[in-house]
Structure formats: C-alpha cells, structure tokens
Amino acid sequence: MLLADSAQVADQKLYVMGGGWSFIGPEVGPFALALLAQIEWWESDIAHNFRLELQDEDARPVLLGEPGQPIAVEGAIEVSRPPGHPEGTALHVPLAINFSPMPIPPGQRYVWALTVDSSPDRVWRVAFNVRAAAEN
C-alpha cells in the first residue's frame, strides 16, 4: 500500500502520481491509495474480501457525519490464472482507490488498515500525519 496524490490502473499496471508521502494538510485534499495485491497460485479463482478502514492512532475507526459513519471501503478481489501462467507463480492485481477531500481533524496521525478475508493475520497498514493548522 502506498499513499499518493492520485493513482489509476490501466493495462494491468499501476500508475501513481505523487506517491510515498506521509504528511498532508492541514486540509486534506484529494488523495489515493495505490495497492498491489499478490494472489498466490493456489488462491486464484477464490473471492478474497477486503475492508480498508481509516483509523486514528489508537486503532479506532474515524467517524464522519451524523450519526458518525466509519470511513471505509469494502470489496472483493478474484483473479483467474491466465492461459500459460507458470504453475506456482503468484498473480498480481493492481488497485487504485481515489478519495475526495476529507474533513478530518488536523494535527493528528491516522492509519489506513487493510484487512483481507476478515483475518487478523492478514492486515496491512499505512500511516500518515495531518499537519496542524497554522495559528494566526
């Protein structure tokens, strides 16, 4: 997982602009998460469910709006082995998830947590800091 200004997938390739940052703000404008999923040979043709959730530094979900909804993306990845793919070789699935500006509080650290198949052993994290607002 990589934080970026923007990302897209084309021709099974991941295109990333402004990738690899860990500080943003104090206002959080549009940004993206670029992901490259590696599906093992024996896990092909199986749907793998995922949940990507924004958490605070204490691993609590960040809630927005009323009545306070978590910021999360859910989906599934399922890939088949293409003809001629070498036996035992993992398959790569590029994903680009772009976000609109978010009204999250400045001066704090946040974490995107990606959980696959609801397994505590299959969690990946990428953290970032939102700069504090300038004082006048």
**Predicted confidence (pLDDT) per residue in 68-111, tens digit:** 899 999 999 999 999 999 999 999 999 999 999 998 999 999 99
The answer to whether 130 and 106 are in contact (CB under 8 A) is yes
N-to-C CA span, the chain:
36
Does domain 2-130 sit in CATH 2.60.40? yes
**Predicted confidence (pLDDT) per residue in 41-71, tens digit:** 999 999 999 999 999 999 999 998 888 899 9
Could you tell me the pLDDT band of residue 121, with boundaries at 50, 70 and 90?
confident
Strands (E), 1-136: 2-4, 6-10, 13-17, 23-24, 31-39, 48-56, 63-64, 69-70, 72-77, 91-99, 108-116, 123-130
pLDDT of residue 83: 92
pLDDT of residue 67: 85
Could you tell me the pLDDT band of residue 136, with boundaries at 50, 70 and 90?
low
Predicted TM-score of the model (pTM): 0.90
Q: Which two tokens stand for residue 49?
A: 């469910």
Higher pLDDT: 126 or 65? It is 126
